[in-house]
């Protein structure tokens, strides 16, 4: 199986107004268990000219500033053409990203839609945030935390290529056939029906506090699961669980 792991660094989390500053990817053959291709590129976008400087939290996380993008950045169109060429040349089966469904994929699709008028990328995505069956004792799903739980350290977190290589190293520790089968199950956003005094019950089950159903004025405790996990979640949770949304764009 050929996988292309991909990671983005951006000026923020809003895919409608923020910009990609770095893209890194690596192609691996799961039988060889080593990278065939590694690429890392800073990006320049004319819209960055209107930004005085990136937000302090972004500078702290990525160490990428506007000057670096101006000096070393390449156009997204050129880099995406290279990405597409390598996907076809190396006969990639799946794209892989950590939290890709919520972050990397929609960011890329917005850029691609602007360029080519299509919103979908040509390959299916494995999301190592949701499509890997991690041990239940792992309380967090950040890549840095998961790397440590799997016995190694990512030496340069939030550097796109290093995040990709760390993610792929971790993925190699799991049964890829099970991961692909799990990928094909619909994702589901569920809500923990808890009040303030019971919020720790939700936190213990990895629910997080965020905008509810896309409404910025309503907050609630939510998490993403696979649709086939709903019944067990309802049976195990010490509170009522409601479904907010189901996302299923996998085509067999």
Judge whether 96 and 74 are in contact, CB under 8 Å. no
pLDDT of residue 250: 44
Give the mean model confidence (pLDDT) for residues 180-198. Answer: 92
User: Which tokens sit at 5?
Assistant: 């792991």
With beta carbons less than 8 A apart as the criterion, state whether 143 and 157 touch: yes
Contact 240, 220 (CB under 8 A): no
What is the CB neighbour count within 10 angstroms for residue 150?
16
- pLDDT score for 211: 76
Of the candidates 200, 238, 236, 235, which has an alpha carbon nearest to the alpha carbon of residue 221?
200
pLDDT digits (tens, 9 = 90+) for 213-226: 655 557 899 988 89
Pick among 3.30.70, 2.60.40, 3.30.1490, 3.55.50: CATH of 187-247: 3.30.70
pLDDT at 221: 94
Would you kindly state where each structural domain of the chain is located, as residue ranges?
2-183, 187-247
DSSP class per residue in 27-76: EEETTTTEEEEEEEEEB--GGGGG-SS--HHHHHHH---HHHHHHH-B-H
d(CA 87, CA 99): 20
- Mean pLDDT score of the chain: 91
The confidence band for 117, taking pLDDT boundaries of 50, 70 and 90, is confident
Quote the pLDDT of residue 215: 58
> Under 8 Å CB-to-CB from 242, ≥6 apart: which residues?
190, 191, 193
Whether the per-residue pLDDT at 123 is higher than 60: the answer is yes
The pLDDT value given to residue 212: 75
Classify domain 2-183 at the CATH class level: alpha beta
Mean pLDDT over 153-178 rounds to 96
Residue-wise DSSP of 86-106: HHHHTT--EEEETTTTTTHHH
Give the pLDDT mean for 166-190: 95
Residue 248 pLDDT grade (very low, low, confident, very high; cuts 50, 70, 90): low
Q: Is the pLDDT of residue 186 over 50?
A: yes
Q: Do the domains 2-183 and 187-247 sit in the same CATH topology, yes or no?
A: no
Give the percent of the chain with pLDDT over 90. Answer: 72
Q: How confident is the model at residue 46, as a pLDDT?
A: 84
**Range of lowest pLDDT (43-52, 54-63, 85-94, 155-164):** 43-52
């Amino acid at each position: 199986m050929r996988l292309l792991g991909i990671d983005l660094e951006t000026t923020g989390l809003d895919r409608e107004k923020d910009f990609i500053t770095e893209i890194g990817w690596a192609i691996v053959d799961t039988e060889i268990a080593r990278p065939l291709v590694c690429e890392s590129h800073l990006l320049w976008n004319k819209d960055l000219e209107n930004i005085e400087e990136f937000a302090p939290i972004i500078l702290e996380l990525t160490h990428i500033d506007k000057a670096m993008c101006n000096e070393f950045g390449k156009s997204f169109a050129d880099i995406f053409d290279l990405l597409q060429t390598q996907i076809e040349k190396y006969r990639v089966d799946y794209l892989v990203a950590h939290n890709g469904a919520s972050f990397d994929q929609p960011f890329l699709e917005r850029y691609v839609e602007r360029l080519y008028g299509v919103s979908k990328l040509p390959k299916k995505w494995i999301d190592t945030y949701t499509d890997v069956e991690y041990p239940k004792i792992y309380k967090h799903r950040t890549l840095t935390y998961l790397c440590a739980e799997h016995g190694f350290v990512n030496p340069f977190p939030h550097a796109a290529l290093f995040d990709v290589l760390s993610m792929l190293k971790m993925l190699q520790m799991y049964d890829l056939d099970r991961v692909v089968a799990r990928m094909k199950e619909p994702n589901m956003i569920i809500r923990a029906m808890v009040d303030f005094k019971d919020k720790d019950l939700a936190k213990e089950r990895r629910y997080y506090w965020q905008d509810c159903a896309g409404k910025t004025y309503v907050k609630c405790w939510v998490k993403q699961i696979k649709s086939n996990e709903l019944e067990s979640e309802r049976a195990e949770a010490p509170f009522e669980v409601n479904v907010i949304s189901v996302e299923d764009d996998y085509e067999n």
